[in-house]
A and B are shown apart, each in its own frame.
Chain A
Amino acid sequence: AQSVTQLGSHVSVSEGALVLLRCNYSSSVPPYLFWYVQYPNQGLQLLLKYTTGATLVKGINGFEAEFKKSETSFHLTKPSAHMSDAAEYFCAVREGGYSTLTFGKGTMLLVSP
């Protein structure tokens, strides 16, 4: 069965600092991996996805993530945090063509001036 673990329910950074949100997954087949962002009182918005091919994927708003099969990880990074990045971030996994996404518990990113 597929599962996702997000380390840290809250991550605090200063504006301009590196953002690193951690995600580890468990999957019995090659996974499809996703990061979503949720702003207050809104739905989830797709940031980026990995399906096949290049293991470093770039998404919207300057975020990127790298699929590391040996570490079963898909950490999300951004070189320089902006105040507008404050939101909750969800990592999700789907096993190949199987259609159901399994979400992690989410990580709240707090950005201070």
Chain B
Amino acid sequence: DAGVIQSPRHEVTEMGQEVTLRCKPISGHDYLFWYRQTMMRGLELLIYFNNNVPIDDSGMPEDRFSAKMPNASFSTLKIQPSEPRDSAVYFCASLQGTHYGYTFGSGTRLTVV
């Protein structure tokens, strides 16, 4: 298996622009998570899905953030409009069942200038 695939690896955008981050989970995994990592706050859970349904989005910082999972093999995290304080590494992770650890993607490093 190719693991959890995220794209792009790096994104530099100007403040006010829309940013879309993409994630392909491992086939057969029924949970998908979006995390954000910063020096100040560490790893923060933004939202997670179970069987493509959003379960908990309480970590999404503002209405500027939205996430979708239209099918079992694809999810997006969108920021519109982006702000410099959104600069971070965004990780996607997937999980099968509840007895195992997550498998993380390589992350997307977002820089908003």
Instruction: Give A contacts to B, CB under 8 Å.
Output: 32, 34, 36, 41-46, 49, 51, 90, 92, 94, 96-106
CA distance A5 to B103 in the complex (A): 22
* Contacting pair A46 B98 (CB below 8 A): no
- Interface status of B95 (Cβ within 8 A of chain A): yes
Please state if A43 and B91 are interface contacts (CB–CB under 8 Å).
yes
Q: Flag whether B7 is at the interface (Cβ < 8 A).
A: no
Q: Check A99 against B31 for contact (C-beta < 8 Å).
A: yes
Q: Which residues of the partner chain A approach B105 to less than 8 Å between Cβ atoms?
A: 43
Report how many residues on chain B are interfacial, defined by Cβ distance under 8 Å: 23
User: A97 vs B50: C-alpha distance in the bound complex, in angstroms?
Assistant: 13
- The residues of A that contact B104 with a CB separation of less than 8 Å are 36, 43-45
A43 to B95, CA, bound (A): 15
Q: Which of B13-21, B41-49, B63-71, B74-82 contacts A (4 or more CB under 8 A)?
A: B41-49
8 A Cβ contacts from B30-48 to A? 31, 33, 42-43, 45, 48
**Closest B-chain residue to A104, C-beta based?**
B42
> Would B91 and A100 count as touching, CB distance under 8 A?
no
The chain A residue with its CB closest to the CB of B107 is: A43
Pairwise interchain contact A46-B50, C-beta atoms closer than 8 A:
no
Q: Which residues of B contact A103 (CB under 8 A)?
A: 42-43
In the complex, residue of chain B having the shortest beta-carbon distance to the beta carbon of A51:
B99
Closest 8 CB pairs between A and B? A43-B104, A46-B101, A97-B98, A103-B43, A44-B104, A43-B106, A105-B42, A34-B101
